[in-house]
């Protein structure tokens, strides 16, 4: 079934107070990002460098993947490869099963969301506890995260309070964020201490050193990794970077872009396992190599999952992450996801005014607005543009190509609309007229005026 972004957005906007609150919360994060960007003199040079490092890496991705594997294995890290979600899930489950691990703590990994890992493991008797606070909240509610960095951004504190009252036995009506976070701390601490294995994602995998980096503010990834004897990191193949020195560039950009902090509280580097423990990496393709081969869209693989594009997108802020119906929402989601299923996600590239703000905040300079435009062409060429729109657009082009026809049609429309009562005008103007009036119809078009005032003009 196709995602109907417009319908979901309209539903989100039906509660305008809530939509305003959601919009303001995300704009606030955008503002904090701006403060950071303005305070780093070399900010634009950093973006250029980060973009160039990523483009280079993607242009030699196979070599860097092999180098990473070689060095990781030398560090005592086990490396696995998964072509798709199904293979990834089977590999992770296999590692857990061999270790007899049944209670897992997981820190934020959009890749594991993408692969549907939680339900897969749960169906096989493995308890998976998402330990990022926002992720835990949505997990208890049975919802998907609505933002890749702030998973519960769509929820009011009262709603979190209700969820915790139901699942963690906090007092009814408790909505104080400090108290709620405190309750989660106690609840999750038990889980950390009892965990057989820790699952994480990775922000960066370093080819030259065979290690990977996990960035968090909460310390949940670190607690999981420090306590459980088994650590499995699911890493998309596009996360590889050449050198440890490159982290200087990326870590200076990541948190500033994501949350407006100079750096996350923890930037943890894993280059092996402590004695008696094991570290596994699962490198996942799941459509990334296909996207890499798309001339118009491969640059979307530069993404470092900061979420800045979502925070700035005026449509995302007013429609919410769930309206995209995809693991990754917002502008980046709208250029990554259509590549997976063009028909299902046909509406996503159109959920945009192409304002370009996303492109301007992206720390790795992905040409998001240009890619959205290109996806639109793919959607209509494939026949998923909708018959009505196709007929309308083709007719529009035909008229716009013929000035005399355009002039006659325009004059007729103006005359008609001028004499109609306002209610009829409103009705006739369709979707435009839902919330907007048409302007006063001028008696003369500019060209009619020009011809009358200046005489007929050929050329």
Specify the residue, 125 or 305, whose C-beta has the smaller distance to another protein: 305
- Does the CA dihedral 18-22-27-32 come out positive or negative? positive
Q: Given the rule CB under 8 A, which of 96-104, 166-174, 260-268, 333-341 is the region that contacts another protein?
A: 260-268
Q: Which of 19, 99, 168, 278 binds another protein (CB under 8 A)?
A: 19
Q: Is 134 in the site for another protein (CB under 8 A)?
A: yes
Q: Is 300 in the site for another protein (CB under 8 A)?
A: no
Q: Is 415 in the site for another protein (CB under 8 A)?
A: no
Q: Which of 270, 306, 310, 336 binds another protein (CB under 8 A)?
A: 270
End-to-end CA distance of the chain: 52
* Tokens standing for residue 349: 């590239």
Using CB under 8 A, which residues numbered 344 to 363 contact another protein? 350-357, 359-361
Q: Tokens 């696995």 correspond to what residue?
A: 80
Specify the residue, 127 or 296, whose C-beta has the smaller distance to another protein: 296
Q: Using CA atoms, how far apart are residues 112 and 106, in angstroms rounded to an integer?
A: 9
* Tokens standing for residue 37: 């960007």
Specify the residue, 125 or 169, whose C-beta has the smaller distance to another protein: 169
Q: Is 23 in the site for another protein (CB under 8 A)?
A: yes
Q: Given the rule CB under 8 A, which of 110-118, 121-129, 210-218, 331-339 is the region that contacts another protein?
A: 210-218
Is 87 in a helix, a strand, or coil? helix
Q: Is 252 in the site for another protein (CB under 8 A)?
A: yes
* Tokens standing for residue 331: 């502008």
Specify the residue, 121 or 372, whose C-beta has the smaller distance to another protein: 372
Q: Which of 92, 223, 235, 348 binds another protein (CB under 8 A)?
A: 223
Q: Is 37 in the site for another protein (CB under 8 A)?
A: yes
Contacts of residues 59-68 at CB distance under 8 Å and 24 or more positions apart, as own/partner, are 61/237, 61/238, 61/240, 61/292, 64/207, 64/240, 64/241, 64/242, 65/207, 65/237, 65/240, 65/283, 67/207, 67/208, 68/205, 68/206, 68/207, 68/210, 68/240
Q: Is 137 in the site for another protein (CB under 8 A)?
A: yes
Q: Is 229 in the site for another protein (CB under 8 A)?
A: no
**CA of 87: how far to CAs of 230, 282, 283, in Å?**
20, 10, 11
Q: Is 366 in the site for another protein (CB under 8 A)?
A: no
Q: Which of 120, 298, 324, 345 binds another protein (CB under 8 A)?
A: 298
Specify the residue, 28 or 171, whose C-beta has the smaller distance to another protein: 28
Q: Is 261 in the site for another protein (CB under 8 A)?
A: yes
Q: Is 124 in the site for another protein (CB under 8 A)?
A: no
Specify the residue, 43 or 99, whose C-beta has the smaller distance to another protein: 43
Q: Which of 18, 78, 167, 271 binds another protein (CB under 8 A)?
A: 271
Q: Is 309 in the site for another protein (CB under 8 A)?
A: no
Q: Given the rule CB under 8 A, which of 93-101, 116-124, 246-254, 328-336 is the region that contacts another protein?
A: 246-254
Q: Is 111 in the site for another protein (CB under 8 A)?
A: no
Q: Given the rule CB under 8 A, which of 92-100, 112-120, 195-203, 396-404 is the region that contacts another protein?
A: 396-404
Q: Using CA atoms, how far apart are residues 150 and 324, in angstroms rounded to an integer?
A: 16
Using CB under 8 A, which residues numbered 143 to 202 contact another protein? 150-153, 155-157, 160, 177-178, 180-182, 184-185, 188-189, 192
**CA of 399: how far to CAs of 147, 370, 392, 395, 414, in Å?**
42, 26, 11, 6, 16
Q: Using CA atoms, how far apart are residues 50 and 365, in angstroms rounded to an integer?
A: 8
Q: Is 383 in the site for another protein (CB under 8 A)?
A: no
Total binding residues for another protein by CB under 8 A?
171
Q: Using CA atoms, how far apart are residues 290 and 134, in angstroms rounded to an integer?
A: 31
Task: Give the distance, in angstroms, between the CA of residue 165 and the centroid of all CA atoms in the same chain.
Answer: 30
Minimum Å distance from CB 217 to another protein? 5
Q: Which residues of 201-217 are buried (b: 16+ CB within 10 A; e: fewer)?
A: bbbbbbbebbbbbbbbb
Q: Is 406 in the site for another protein (CB under 8 A)?
A: yes
127 DSSP assignment: E
Q: Using CA atoms, how far apart are residues 169 and 165, in angstroms rounded to an integer?
A: 5
31 DSSP assignment: H
Q: Is 319 in the site for another protein (CB under 8 A)?
A: yes
Q: Tokens 């996360």 correspond to what residue?
A: 239
């Amino acid at each position: 079934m196709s995602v109907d972004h417009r319908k979901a957005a309209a539903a989100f906007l039906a509660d305008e107070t809530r939509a305003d609150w959601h919009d303001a919360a995300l704009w606030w994060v955008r503002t904090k990002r701006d403060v950071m960007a303005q305070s780093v003199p070399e900010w634009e040079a950093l973006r250029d460098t980060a973009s160039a490092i990523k483009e280079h890496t993607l242009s030699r991705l196979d070599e860097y993947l092999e180098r990473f594997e070689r060095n990781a294995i030398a560090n005592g890290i086990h490396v696995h490869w998964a072509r798709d979600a199904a293979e990834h899930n089977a590999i992770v489950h296999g590692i857990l099963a061999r270790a007899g691990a049944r209670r897992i703590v997981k820190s934020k990994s959009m890749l594991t969301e993408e692969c549907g890992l939680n339900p897969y493991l749960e169906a096989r008797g493995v308890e998976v506890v998402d330990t990022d606070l926002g992720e835990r909240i949505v997990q208890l509610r049975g919802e998907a995260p609505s933002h890749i960095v702030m998973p519960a951004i769509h929820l009011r504190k009262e709603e979190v309070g209700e969820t915790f009252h139901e699942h963690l036995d906090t007092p009814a009506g408790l909505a104080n964020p400090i108290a709620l976070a405190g309750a989660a701390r106690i609840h999750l601490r038990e889980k950390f201490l009892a965990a057989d294995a820790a699952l994480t994602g990775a922000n960066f995998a370093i080819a030259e050193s065979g290690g990977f980096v996990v960035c968090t503010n909460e310390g949940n990834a670190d607690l999981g990794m420090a306590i459980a004897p088994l650590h499995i990191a699911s890493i998309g193949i596009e996360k590889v970077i050449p050198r440890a020195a490159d982290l200087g560039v990326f870590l200076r950009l990541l948190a500033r872009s994501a949350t407006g902090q100079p750096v996350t509280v923890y930037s943890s580097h894993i280059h092996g396992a402590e004695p008696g423990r094991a570290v596994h990496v699962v490198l996942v393709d799941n459509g990334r190599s296909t996207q890499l081969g798309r001339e118009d869209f491969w640059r979307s693989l530069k993404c470092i999952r900061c979420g800045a594009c979502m925070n700035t997108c005026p449509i995302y802020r007013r429609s919410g992450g769930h309206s995209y119906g995809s693991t990754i929402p917002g502008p980046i989601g709208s250029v990554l996801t259509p590549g997976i299923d063009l028909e299902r996600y046909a509406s996503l590239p159109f959920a945009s005014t192409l304002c370009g703000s996303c492109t301007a905040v992206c720390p790795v300079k992905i040409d998001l607005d240009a890619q959205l435009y290109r996806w639109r062409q793919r959607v209509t060429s494939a026949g998923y543009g909708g018959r009505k729109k196709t007929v309308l657009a083709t007719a529009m082009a035909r008229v716009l190509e013929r000035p005399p026809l355009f002039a006659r049609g325009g004059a007729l429309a103006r005359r008609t609309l001028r004499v109609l009562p306002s209610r009829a005008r409103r009705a006739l103007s369709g979707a435009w007229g839902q919330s907007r009036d048409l302007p006063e119809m001028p008696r003369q078009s500019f060209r009619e005026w020009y011809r009358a005032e200046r005489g007929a003009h050929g050329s």
